[in-house]
Amino acid sequence: MTTQDTRPEWARRIQAEREARGWNKPALAAELHRVCGISGRSTQSLTRQILGWERGDHYPRDWTAAYAAAFGLDVDDLFPDAPGTVETAVPATPAGEDAEDVKRREAIQNASAIAASAVVSPVLATLTEAWHTSQPRLAGATISQAMLDDWASGYEVHARSYALDTPEIVLANLARDWAEIAPHLAEPQPVKIERDLARAAAKLAYLIAGSALQLGDYRQSSRWWRIARDQADRSGDALLSSWVRSWEVTTRVVEPREDLSELLRLSREALHLAGGNASTTRVYAATVEAEVLAFMGRHDAAVDAMRTAEDAFGQIPADQSQRDELLHFDQSLVYALAGRPDEASVAQSAALRFYTPERHLYTSVQLDLHGAMLNARDDPNEAAKQALRIVDALPPNRRIKRVVLAARRILDVTPPDARTLPAVRELRNLSPV
């Protein structure tokens, strides 16, 4: 006698969709975590929930959009028989839930947007292609001036996103622009067009590299750093080539696995490319060299390099971009690492006038962490607690790699005999989302 399956239709459907893909329950749990942009300590808790959903014990309320995105289906198609009591908002976090549950619930709030994006993206791609087709091509080129201007101006949009959004969002938007520009890079273009195209591509490429690094994909980031350097060199603009290398170094230098001698070589290559005239690019290259020296523990050399940068900054012509914020940020970091609290505090205050949380979330947090670094030599346990409070104050999905690594770099100036203090141990074990 066959036992009648009394489960709700939605429970049978999600089991059937999972099995059709050859996924076991832990595999589905991993996929749901991926769709939501979170990585839990393990998939065990979510696997247990999946078991309950497939038994029909309870409806997967705030997971419906994530299920639909994982299976590549519309929510209405997957759950046409949704219970009428389903809440559209994510319920308040019950008492006793751990940090992973909190992160899950916050990420789930964006799951509907993820599913909607999958529907909207093809429409946007069609509109973009139609716009490209409508633009008159430049003589001898495969692109129009409007297309070139659009990619060039798009950099500012992506840079603002890099300062505020999660790496997944930044990379998704960058990928869309790169997919548009890439075919034209391989086509013959007039010399000026080729250089302008390479300039736009270089800027996109180094943001792609930085975003890939934030996601922990070192293979991808290494590839895109090379692409950024190659495209910058192809543009024929030595200052851009210098800038791209400096930005690469300052992005990579907080990574514990990096070879600092290699980064020092790259920073000096940037300094050489910046030329002998005082400019923002030359100042940036000099401050980045100081960063590397400071992380190497060569504090006197780092301070000397920073003094060189400060002298060059004072010589920049008044009609050129000054970019005070770049100088002040690196002063704050280098002087904090070198144990010069007065100079570091002045630089930090100056930098925070430019880097506000509303416009530059991650940089403003890093500056706050420089303040914690200043206390690490005299009161390491309190400095570690201060760093942990700064990171904990961020929404969980904003505790990204470059913020957490900046916090952990406080350990570089923590006395060796303080490494066993509770807060210091907790800081050492701090991990990005």
Identify the pLDDT of residue 85.
Answer: 38
Per-position DSSP letters for 2-59, written without gaps between them: PPP--S-HHHHHHHHHHHHTT--HHHHHHHHHHHHT---S-SHHHHHHHHHHHHTSS-
* Residue for token pair 């060189």: 308
Helix (H) or strand (E) holding 370: helix 361-375
Cβ–Cβ < 8 Å for 274, 249: no
Q: What pLDDT shows up at residue 5?
A: 79
How far does CA 98 lie from the centroid of its chain? 25
* Alpha-carbon span 289 to 7, nearest angstrom: 64
What is the reported pLDDT for 121?
A: 61
Name residue 72's amino acid: G
300 to each of 165, 265, 313, 320, how far by Cα in Å?
36, 18, 20, 30
Gap between the Cα atoms of 28 and 25, Å rounded: 5
Report field, pTM of the whole predicted structure over 0.75: no
Domain covering 1-85+97-131: architecture: Orthogonal Bundle (1.10)
Residue of 14, 30, 28 lying closest to 77 (CA atoms): 14
| 39-78: burial string, b at 16+ Cβ within 10 Å, e else | bbeebeebbebbeebbebeebbbbbbbbbbbbbebebeeb
Contact 275, 319 (CB under 8 A): no
- Dihedral in degrees, nearest 10, Cα atoms 323, 329, 334, 340: 110
Q: To 10 degrees, the CA torsion angle through 384, 214, 105, 84?
A: 170
Q: Which residues contact 33 (CB under 8 A, 6 or more apart)?
A: 39, 40, 43, 46
pLDDT at 94: 38
Judged by DSSP in three states, 188 sits in coil
> Could you tell me which residues come within 8 angstroms of residue 229 by beta carbon, excluding any fewer than 6 positions away?
202, 241, 244, 245, 248
Note the pLDDT of residue 87.
36
| Below-50 pLDDT ranges, the chain | 39-42, 84-112, 114-116
Q: What is the DSSP string of 284-335?
A: HHHHHHHHHHHHTT-HHHHHHHHHHHHHHHHTS-TTS---HHHHHHHHHHHH
In whole angstroms, give the CA distance from residue 296 to residue 260.
Answer: 7
| Best CA proximity match to 158, nearest among 205, 111, 118 | 205
Q: d(Cα 204, Cα 200) in Å, to the nearest integer?
A: 7
Which amino acid is present at 53? Answer: W
Q: Could you tell me if 173 and 161 are in contact, meaning their C-beta atoms sit under 8 angstroms apart? A: yes
pLDDT of residue 104: 47
Per-domain boundaries in the chain: 1-85+97-131, 143-236
Which tokens sit at 336? 């904090």
Among the listed residues 194, 290, 206, the one whose alpha carbon sits nearest the alpha carbon of residue 243: 206
